[in-house]
C-alpha cells in the first residue's frame, strides 16, 4: 500500500456519476441512453456497501466505475470517482493500470468463466501482485496459501497447483476471492459472487467472504440482487433502480424499515400465498424405482427414485447441484433412458427412449429450461418459436396459427408486437415467458420446469411464478418443478421431493415435508436459505448438523 | 428491407465488381468484340484501340478471351463450390446429429480423402477419367467438400447440444427440421465466411489444373489456362499473362468483400435490424 493504511477515513467517494452507452434499437437510429443518473456514494475504509437492484439497475456499472472500467462500450461521461483522495477518472490509461489489481480488485459472478482454464490457479492468484511488483513470487504464494486457509479451502498448500476445472464452483469462487485479496487492495468489488451457487454452497462462500473482509480490513462493494444475502455481509445498503438511487441507509434500516415503496417490494418479494392442494385419487404420472446412470452405468445419478404427480398439481423437486434433479427430468422425458424402473403415464408405461414414444406422448410432456436464452433458437422469431408446436402437433397453418399465437402471447401477458421479435430483443423475463408459451402451445398435461426462475431477478421471478400459478388454474396443467430455491418451493408446490446424491430423502405433501422433525439434509437445505435478518449467517453456520456436499 | 445507402462502401465495391464479372460471363457472346478462338492479329500485340488488352500467344484478342474465360471460370467455380457446400454441409450436419457409426464412418472416409494432397488426387483422377466439364466439377466439388464437411460437423456438434435443439428433439421433430431449421441458420456465419474463401480456392484450383493441362481443354480457356498460354511472354516483358492473373485477384477480392458483408448481416441475432 503506497499511502499507508489508516483504519478509518474516507476511501471511495463517487460524486454525481453519470454513465452512458449507445444502443441500437431495432428499426430506429442509434441513440445514447443514460444508464446511471448522477449517483453519488461514499465508502469508508474497511466498510462494506451493498449495491442492490434488479438487472439493468446499474449496480454492476457503478461497481466497475470504482476501477474506472466501463463494460462493452459503456462510457463514464460525468462525475468524479475519488479513490484514496484522487480522481481516478483523470489518471488516464496509465493511472488505471496502476490502480486495477492493486488498489481495487474485482470478484466476478461466474468464477468458472472468469478463470483461464489453461493456467494453474496459483499462477492466476498471484498474477496481479507480481505485475505490480509489490511482492516476490515466494511472498505472494505464501500470502495466497494463508488466504486459502482463511477461506477454508481444502488442501490450502496444494490447491494452487490445480487447474480451474479440478475444483468445485464454490471453491473456485473462494479462490477468486483469494485472488482479489492477494494484492492487498483497499477495495474489492464483489459482483454477485454467490448468485450462481447452490444455497448450501452459497452459505459457505458467504461466511468465507465475510471473515476475509473482517480480517483483512478491506473495504468492499457487494453487488447482488438478493437482499437477504447482502444483509449478511454489508454495513450499508444502497438500493438502485433504472440507474437511479432509490434508498441508501444502514442494513438494519433498509430491511426492517424500508422507506421507499420499491425497497419494500424487494424486501417482501417471494411471499406468494399458495394453498396446498390435497393429492387426488390417482396420479397420472408415476415414476417407480427409477435408476439411471451416465457413461454406460459407470456413474449412477439416480438411485431407486419413486415419485407421483397428480393432475393439475405441482411436485417440487429440491436439492443442490449434482443431486440428480435434472437427471430425473431427463429420465421422465426420455432423454436419458433409465436402467431400471418404469415411468407410467395415464396408466400405461412410457417408452424408455425418446424415439420409442408416439408424438401424442411427447405432446403431453413439455419442458421449460433454466436458461431461456439458449432454450430458444436465436434465429427464429417469437412467432415461429410459439407457432411451431401448433403446426407440429395440431397441423395449424396460416391465420389460424397466428391467431392462436396471439392468444398465447396474451396469456403470458405479452402484446402482439412481440411476434416478429428475435430472442435477442427480449429481456430475461420475457424470454422465459415465451418459453412458457411454447410449452403451453402443445396443450400438455405436464410441464417440467427445470430451474425456470433461478436465472432471473427476484421481482421478475416472482412475476413468472405468479404467471405459472395462474396458468395452472386456467389450463389445469401439472408441473414438475425442479429448483434449489426453497422460497420458490414454498410459493408453488403441492408436494415436495427432497433429493440428495441421487436419492429421494424426503417426499410428501408440502406441509408434511416442511414440518419438523427434519432429516439432516433437509435441515441443512432449509437452514441454508438466506433469511432477511442480521446475524442469520452466523446462527446458521453454528446450527448446522452436516457439511454441504460442495465442500 | 435492403437499403442501398446502408451498404458499406467496401461491400458496394465488391457487389459492383462481382456483378460486372457475372454480367460479362452471362453475356459473353454479346460483349466480346471477337470470337473466343478467332485469330485477329499478330502474336502478343501491345494494347491498342483495336485490341484493348492486346493479343495473346496465338494472336487472339485478349479481352475477348478474358470475357469468355470469365464464363468458364465462374461456371465451374460456382458449380463446384455449390456442390462442395451442399454435400459437405449436409453430410457434416447429419454426422453431428446422428452421431454413432454414421459419424465415424463418414469422418474416417473424409480423413482418408484429406490425407491425400488435393492436387495429386485431382491429377490422378482427372488423368484417368475423360476430361470434360462434368468430371472436372465433380472432382473439384467432392475434393473440396471434405473441408466443408469438417467445418460444418465441428460447428454443428456445438449447436447440437444446445437446449433449443434438445427442445426440438423433445417435441419429436425429425432430423430434417433439426438440420435445416435449427442448426443451419445458426451455422450460417462460419459457412458463409468459408464460402467466400472456398469459391476463390475453387477458382485457383481450376487455374492450377488448367495450368498443368488437366483442366479446361483448348481452345477454351479459363483464366488460369490463359496465364499458362501467355507465361512465356513474361520473359520478353509482355504483360499478357498478368492480365488474367489480375482478373483472378479482382474476383477473389470482390467476392470476399461481399461475403464479409453478408457475414456481418448473418451474425446479427436481431435479423439484421440492429
Per-position b or e across B38-72, b if 16+ CB within 10 A of its CB: eeebeebbeeeeebebbbbbbebbbbbbbbbbbbb
Asked if A423's CB is within 8 angstroms of B269's CB, the reply is yes
pLDDT of residue A418: 86
Asked if A362's CB is within 8 angstroms of B172's CB, the reply is yes
Last residue of one domain, picked from the residues A267, A302, A337: A267
Which of A129-138, A148-157, B39-48 comes out lowest in average pLDDT?
Answer: B39-48
pLDDT of residue A150: 82
Q: What CATH number has the domain bearing residue A215? A: 3.40.50.300
Minimal C-alpha gap between B189 and chain A (Å) = 12
CB proximity B182 to A under 8 Å? yes
Asked if B163's CB is within 8 angstroms of A369's CB, the reply is yes
As to burial, measured by CB atoms within 10 angstroms (0-12 exposed, 13-18 middle, 19+ buried), residue A290 is buried
CB proximity B161 to A under 8 Å? no
Helices (H), A107-198: 111-114, 121-125, 127-131, 137-150, 169-182
Minimal C-alpha gap between A392 and chain B (Å) = 8
Q: What CATH number has the domain bearing residue B165? A: 1.10.3720.10
Contact A273, A284 (CB under 8 A): no
Tell me the per-residue pLDDT of A468-506, one tens digit each, with 9 for 90 and over.
998 998 888 999 999 887 778 888 889 999 998 888 988
Minimal C-alpha gap between A112 and chain B (Å) = 19
Average pLDDT over residues B224-240: 83
Q: Is residue A548 one of the residues assigned to a domain?
A: no
Query: How far does Cα B54 stand from its chain's mean position?
Result: 28
Domain that holds residue A212: 10-267
Asked if A442's CB is within 8 angstroms of B171's CB, the reply is yes
pLDDT of residue A4: 41
Distance CA A449, CA A250 (A): 38
CB proximity B5 to A under 8 Å? no
pLDDT of residue A1: 39
Confidence of residue B148 (pLDDT cuts 50, 70, 90): very high
Contact A51, A222 (CB under 8 A): yes
Q: Is residue A529 one of the residues assigned to a domain?
A: no
As to burial, measured by CB atoms within 10 angstroms (0-12 exposed, 13-18 middle, 19+ buried), residue A334 is buried
Supply the mean pLDDT for chain A.
84
Picking from A24, A359, A371, the nearest residue to B172 by CB comes out as: A359
Residues A73 and A139 in one domain: yes
Contact A206, A233 (CB under 8 A): yes
pLDDT of residue B274: 45
Which of A111-115, A466-470, A536-540 is modeled with the greatest confidence? Answer: A466-470
Distance CA B206, CA A35 (A): 56
Q: Is residue A541 one of the residues assigned to a domain?
A: no
Residues A167 and A80 in one domain: yes
Tell me the per-residue pLDDT of A423-461, one tens digit each, with 9 for 90 and over.
888 888 889 999 999 999 999 999 999 888 877 777 788
Tell which phi-psi region holds residue A18, choosing left (phi > 0), alpha (psi between -120 and 50) or beta.
beta
On the question of pLDDT at A7 being above 60, the answer is no
Tell me the per-residue pLDDT of B63-116, one tens digit each, with 9 for 90 and over.
888 899 888 889 999 999 999 999 999 999 999 999 889 999 999 999 999 999
Q: Is residue A336 one of the residues assigned to a domain?
A: yes
**ipTM field:** 0.78
Asked if B167's CB is within 8 angstroms of A367's CB, the reply is yes
Picking from A354, A369, A377, the nearest residue to B186 by CB comes out as: A377
pLDDT of residue A391: 92
Distance CA A292, CA A301 (A): 6
Average pLDDT over residues A89-96: 82
Minimal C-alpha gap between B168 and chain A (Å) = 9
- For an interface test with A, the pick among B163, B173, B184, B264 (most A C-beta atoms closer than 10 Å) comes out as B163
Instruction: Report which of A225, A94, A99, A111 is spatially closest to residue A168, judged by C-alpha positions.
Output: A111
Scanning every residue of chain B, which has its alpha carbon at the shortest distance from the alpha carbon of A29? Answer: B274
Tell me the per-residue pLDDT of B193-219, one tens digit each, with 9 for 90 and over.
888 889 888 988 988 888 788 888 877
Confidence of residue A270 (pLDDT cuts 50, 70, 90): low
Which of A136-145, B217-226, B228-237 is modeled with the greatest confidence? Answer: A136-145
Q: Is residue B33 one of the residues assigned to a domain?
A: no
Contact A486, A525 (CB under 8 A): yes
Tell me the per-residue pLDDT of A185-217, one tens digit each, with 9 for 90 and over.
889 999 888 877 777 778 888 888 888 888 888
Q: Is residue B8 one of the residues assigned to a domain?
A: no
Q: Is residue B211 one of the residues assigned to a domain?
A: yes
pLDDT of residue B58: 78
Asked if B170's CB is within 8 angstroms of A335's CB, the reply is yes
Q: What strand order describes the sheet that includes A285-294?
A: A299-309, A285-294, A340-345, A348-349
Minimal C-alpha gap between B148 and chain A (Å) = 22
Q: Is residue B216 one of the residues assigned to a domain?
A: yes
Q: Is residue B107 one of the residues assigned to a domain?
A: yes
Residues A308 and A255 in one domain: no
Residues in chain A, overall count: 551
Residues A154 and A299 in one domain: no
Asked if A354's CB is within 8 angstroms of B170's CB, the reply is yes
C-alpha angle with apex A153: A222 to A189, nearest 5 degrees? 15
| pTM for the full predicted model | 0.78
Residues A355 and A247 in one domain: no
Scanning every residue of chain B, which has its alpha carbon at the shortest distance from the alpha carbon of A420? Answer: B271
Please name the residues in contact with B163: beta carbons below 8 A apart, sequence gap of 6 or more.
A369, A371, A374, A375
Confidence of residue B145 (pLDDT cuts 50, 70, 90): very high
Distance CA B142, CA A129 (A): 55
Asked if B270's CB is within 8 angstroms of A424's CB, the reply is yes
Residues A239 and A312 in one domain: no
What is the share, in percent, of chain A residues with pLDDT greater than 90?
Answer: 13
Residues A345 and A490 in one domain: yes
Element counts in chain B: helices (H) and strands (E): 11, 0
Distance CA A137, CA B193 (A): 45
Picking from B163, B169, B185, the nearest residue to A379 by CB comes out as: B185
Dihedral pair phi/psi, residue A244, rounded to 5°? -120, 155
Q: Is residue B73 one of the residues assigned to a domain?
A: yes
Scanning every residue of chain A, which has its alpha carbon at the shortest distance from the alpha carbon of B175? Answer: A355
Q: Is residue B53 one of the residues assigned to a domain?
A: no
Q: How many domains does chain A have?
A: 2
Residues A439 and A337 in one domain: yes
* Residues of chain B contacting residue A442, judged by C-beta atoms under 8 Å apart: 171
Tell me the per-residue pLDDT of A366-421, one tens digit each, with 9 for 90 and over.
999 888 888 999 889 999 999 999 999 999 888 999 999 999 998 888 877 888 88
CB proximity B99 to A under 8 Å? no
Residues A174 and A230 in one domain: yes
Q: How many domains does chain B have?
A: 1
Minimal C-alpha gap between B86 and chain A (Å) = 20
- What SS3 state is found at A410? helix
Half-sphere exposure of A158 (CA within 13 A, CB side): 3
CB proximity B164 to A under 8 Å? yes
Query: How far does Cα A294 stand from its chain's mean position?
Result: 26
On the question of pLDDT at A332 being above 80, the answer is yes
pLDDT of residue A5: 44
Residues A232 and A297 in one domain: no
Which of A81-90, A265-274, B7-16, B100-109 comes out lowest in average pLDDT?
Answer: A265-274
Minimal C-alpha gap between B264 and chain A (Å) = 14
On the question of pLDDT at A312 being above 70, the answer is yes
> All 3 cell numbers of residue A460?
421478475
Minimal C-alpha gap between B240 and chain A (Å) = 49
Last residue of one domain, picked from the residues A213, A238, A267: A267
- What SS3 state is found at A51? strand
Which of A223-232, A245-254, A328-337, A524-533 comes out lowest in average pLDDT?
Answer: A524-533
Average pLDDT over residues B241-252: 88
Picking from A27, A380, A389, the nearest residue to B171 by CB comes out as: A389
Residues A40 and A74 in one domain: yes
- For an interface test with B, the pick among A23, A332, A379, A395 (most B C-beta atoms closer than 10 Å) comes out as A379
Asked if A378's CB is within 8 angstroms of B186's CB, the reply is yes
Residues A358 and A458 in one domain: yes
The DSSP letter of residue B134 is: H
Scanning every residue of chain B, which has its alpha carbon at the shortest distance from the alpha carbon of A377? Answer: B164
Q: Is the peptide bond before A44 cis (omega within 30 degrees of 0)?
A: no
Q: Tell me the CA end-to-end span of chain A in Å, nearest whole number.
A: 33
Picking from B167, B168, B269, the nearest residue to A424 by CB comes out as: B269
Domain that holds residue B230: 59-267
On the question of pLDDT at A73 being above 80, the answer is no
- What SS3 state is found at A367? strand
pLDDT of residue A233: 87
Q: Is residue A223 one of the residues assigned to a domain?
A: yes
What is the share, in percent, of chain A residues with pLDDT greater than 70?
Answer: 95
Which of A73-77, A290-294, A405-409, A413-417 is modeled with the greatest confidence? Answer: A405-409
Last residue of one domain, picked from the residues A216, A237, A267: A267
Scanning every residue of chain B, which has its alpha carbon at the shortest distance from the alpha carbon of A357? Answer: B172
Minimal C-alpha gap between B186 and chain A (Å) = 7
Q: Is residue B3 one of the residues assigned to a domain?
A: no
Q: Following DSSP, what letter does each residue of A462-485 receive, concatenated?
A: HHHHHHHHHHHHHH--EEEEEES-
Average pLDDT over residues A106-111: 83
On the question of pLDDT at B226 being above 90, the answer is no
pLDDT of residue B144: 92
Instruction: Report which of B81, B44, B69 is spatially closest to residue B210, judged by C-alpha positions.
Output: B69
* Residues of chain A contacting residue B169, judged by C-beta atoms under 8 Å apart: 335, 354
* Helix or strand holding residue A514 (H, E): none
User: Three-state secondary structure along A190-225?
Assistant: EECCCCCCCHHHHHHHHHHHHHHHHHHCCEEEEEEC
CB proximity B162 to A under 8 Å? yes
Q: Is residue A390 one of the residues assigned to a domain?
A: no
* Residues of chain B contacting residue A422, judged by C-beta atoms under 8 Å apart: 269-271
Asked if A354's CB is within 8 angstroms of B169's CB, the reply is yes
Amino acid at each position: 500500500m503506497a499511502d499507508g493504511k489508516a483504519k478509518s477515513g474516507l476511501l471511495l467517494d463517487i460524486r454525481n456519476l453519470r454513465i452512458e452507452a449507445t444502443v441500437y434499437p431495432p428499426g430506429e437510429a442509434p441513440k445514447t441512453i443514460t444508464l446511471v443518473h448522477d449517483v453519488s456514494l461514499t465508502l469508508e475504509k474497511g466498510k462494506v456497501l451493498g449495491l442492490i437492484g434488479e438487472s439493468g439497475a446499474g449496480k454492476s456499472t457503478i461497481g466497475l466505475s470504482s476501477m474506472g472500467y466501463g463494460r462493452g462500450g459503456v462510457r463514464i461521461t460525468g462525475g468524479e470517482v475519488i479513490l484514496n483522495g484522487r480522481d481516478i477518472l483523470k489518471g488516464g490509461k496509465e493511472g488505471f493500470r496502476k490502480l486495477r489489481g492493486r488498489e481495487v480488485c474485482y470478484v466476478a459472478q461466474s468464477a468458472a468463466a472468469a478463470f483461464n482454464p489453461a493456467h494453474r490457479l496459483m499462477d492466476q492468484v498471484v498474477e496481479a501482485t507480481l505485475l505490480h511488483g509489490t511482492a516476490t513470487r515466494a511472498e505472494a504464494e505464501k500470502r495466497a496459501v494463508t488466504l486459502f486457509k482463511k477461506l477454508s479451502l481444502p488442501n490450502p498448500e496444494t490447491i494452487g497447483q490445480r487447474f480451474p476445472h479440478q475444483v468445485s464452483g464454490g471453491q473456485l469462487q473462494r479462490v477468486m476471492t483469494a485472488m482479489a485479496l492477494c494484492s492487498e487492495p483497499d477495495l474489492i468489488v464483489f459482483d454477485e459472487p454467490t448468485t450462481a451457487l447452490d444455497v448450501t454452497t452459497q452459505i459457505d462462500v458467504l461466511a468465507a467472504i465475510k471473515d476475509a473482509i473482517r480480517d483483512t480490513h478491506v473495504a468492499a462493494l457487494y453487488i447482488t440482487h438478493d437482499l437477504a444475502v447482502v444483509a449478511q455481509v454489508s454495513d450499508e445498503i444502497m438500493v438502485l433502480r433504472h440507474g437511479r438511487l432509490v434508498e441508501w441507509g444502514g442494513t438494519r434500516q433498509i430491511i426492517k424499515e424500508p422507506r421507499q415503496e420499491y425497497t419494500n417490494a424487494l424486501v417482501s418479494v417471494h411471499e406468494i400465498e399458495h394453498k396446498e392442494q390435497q393429492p387426488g385419487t390417482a396420479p397420472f404420472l408415476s415414476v417407480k424405482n427409477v435408476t439411471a446412470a451416465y457413461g454406460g452405468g459407470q456413474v449412477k445419478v439416480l438411485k431407486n427414485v419413486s415419485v407421483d404427480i397428480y393432475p393439475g398439481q405441482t411436485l417440487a423437486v429440491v436439492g443442490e447441484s449434482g443431486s440428480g434433479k435434472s437427471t430425473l427430468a431427463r429420465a421422465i422425458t426420455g432423454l436419458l433412458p433409465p436402467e431400471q424402473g418404469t415411468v407410467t403415464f395415464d396408466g400405461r408405461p412410457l417408452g424408455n427412449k425418446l424415439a420409442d414414444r408416439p408424438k401424442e406422448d411427447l405432446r403431453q410432456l413439455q419442458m421449460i429450461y433454466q436458461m431461456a436464452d439458449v432454450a430458444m433458437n436465436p434465429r427464429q422469431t417469437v412467432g415461429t418459436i410459439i407457432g411451431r408446436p401448433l403446426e407440429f402437433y395440431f397441423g395449424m397453418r396460416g391465420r389460424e396459427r397466428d391467431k392462436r399465437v396471439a392468444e398465447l402471447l396474451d396469456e403470458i401477458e405479452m402484446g402482439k408486437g412481440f411476434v416478429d421479435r428475435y430472442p435477442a430483443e427480449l429481456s430475461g423475463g420475457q424470454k422465459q415467458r415465451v418459453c412458457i408459451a411454447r410449452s403451453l402451445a402443445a396443450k400438455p398435461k405436464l410441464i417440467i420446469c427445470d430451474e425456470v426462475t433461478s436465472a432471473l431477478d427476484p421481482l421478475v421471478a416472482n412475476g413468472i411464478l405468479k404467471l405459472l400459478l395462474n396458468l395452472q388454474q386456467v389450463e389445469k396443467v401439472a408441473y414438475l418443478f425442479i429448483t434449489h430455491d426453497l422460497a420458490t418451493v414454498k410459493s408453488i408446490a403441492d408436494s415436495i421431493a427432497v433429493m440428495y446424491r441421487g436419492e429421494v430423502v424426503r417426499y410428501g405433501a408440502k406441509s408434511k415435508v416442511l414440518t419438523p422433525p427434519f432429516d439432516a439434509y433437509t435441515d441443512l437445505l432449509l437452514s441454508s436459505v438466506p433469511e432477511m435478518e442480521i446475524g442469520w449467517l452466523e446462527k446458521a453456520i453454528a446450527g448446522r448438523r452436516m457439511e454441504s456436499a460442495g465442500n | 428491407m435492403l437499403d442501398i445507402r446502408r451498404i458499406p462502401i467496401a461491400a458496394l465495391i465488391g457487389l459492383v465488381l462481382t456483378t460486372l464479372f457475372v454480367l460479362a460471363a452471362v453475356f459473353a457472346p454479346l460483349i466480346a468484340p471477337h470470337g473466343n478462338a478467332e485469330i485477329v492479329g499478330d502474336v502478343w500485340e501491345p494494347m491498342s484501340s483495336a485490341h484493348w488488352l492486346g493479343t495473346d500467344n496465338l494472336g487472339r484478342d485478349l479481352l475477348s478471351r478474358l470475357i469468355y474465360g470469365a464464363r468458364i471460370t465462374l461456371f465451374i467455380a460456382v458449380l463446384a463450390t455449390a456442390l462442395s457446400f451442399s454435400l459437405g454441409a449436409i453430410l457434416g450436419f447429419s454426422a453431428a446429429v446422428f452421431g454413432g457409426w454414421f459419424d465415424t464412418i463418414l469422418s474416417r472416409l473424409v480423413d482418408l480423402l484429406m490425407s491425400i494432397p488435393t492436387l495429386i488426387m485431382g491429377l490422378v483422377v482427372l488423368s484417368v477419367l475423360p476430361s470434360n466439364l462434368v468430371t472436372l466439377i465433380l472432382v473439384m466439388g467432392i475434393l473440396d467438400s471434405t473441408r466443408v464437411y469438417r467445418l460444418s460437423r465441428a460447428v454443428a456438434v456445438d449447436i447440437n447440444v444446445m437446449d433449443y435443439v434438445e427442445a426440438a428433439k423433445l417435441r419429436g421433430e425429425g432430423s430434417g427440421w433439426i438440420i435445416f431449421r435449427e442448426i443451419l441458420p445458426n451455422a450460417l456465419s462460419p459457412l458463409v465466411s468459408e464460402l467466400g474463401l472456398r469459391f476463390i480456392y475453387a477458382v485457383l484450383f481450376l487455374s492450377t489444373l488448367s495450368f498443368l493441362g488437366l483442366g479446361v481443354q483448348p481452345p477454351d480457356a479459363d483464366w488460369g489456362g490463359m496465364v499458362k498460354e501467355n507465361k512465356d511472354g513474361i520473359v520478353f516483358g509482355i504483360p499478357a499473362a498478368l492480365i488474367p492473373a489480375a482478373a483472378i485477384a479482382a474476383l477473389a477480392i470482390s467476392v470476399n468483400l461481399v461475403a464479409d458483408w453478408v457475414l456481418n448481416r448473418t451474425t446479427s441475432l436481431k435479423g439484421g435490424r440492429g
